[in-house]
Amino acid sequence: MNTKNVALLSAILYTGISLLVAGLFFAVTLAGSYSWVARIGGAAWVFLLSMIVLMPVIIPLVKKRMRA
């Protein structure tokens, strides 16, 4: 198991999931009457919070999977 591979795979996973969640948030807000500042700011906030939450969750999972 290479530490660099674990870090890279983890970063790709939690960044991808965070982008997906932020994109879903942005898509849902298109149906409402929100301003573009609220849509983009909200999507950025969702992305940031998703990254904060997913980082400590994804890294140990990837380490465990790559060890097995």
Q: What is the mean pLDDT of residues 10-30?
A: 97
Find out whether 43 and 22 touch, Cβ atoms under 8 Å.
yes
Q: What is the mean pLDDT of residues 25-53?
A: 97
What are the angstrom distances between the C-alpha of 56 and each of 40, 47, 62?
Answer: 25, 15, 11
Per-residue pLDDT band for 65 (boundaries 50, 70, 90) equals very high
Torsion, CA 29, CA 13, CA 15, CA 10, rounded to 10: 150
Q: Which domain holds residue 35?
A: 3-65
Q: How many domains does one find in the chain?
A: 1
**Interacting residues of 17 by C-beta distance below 8 A, sequence separation 6+:** 50, 54, 58
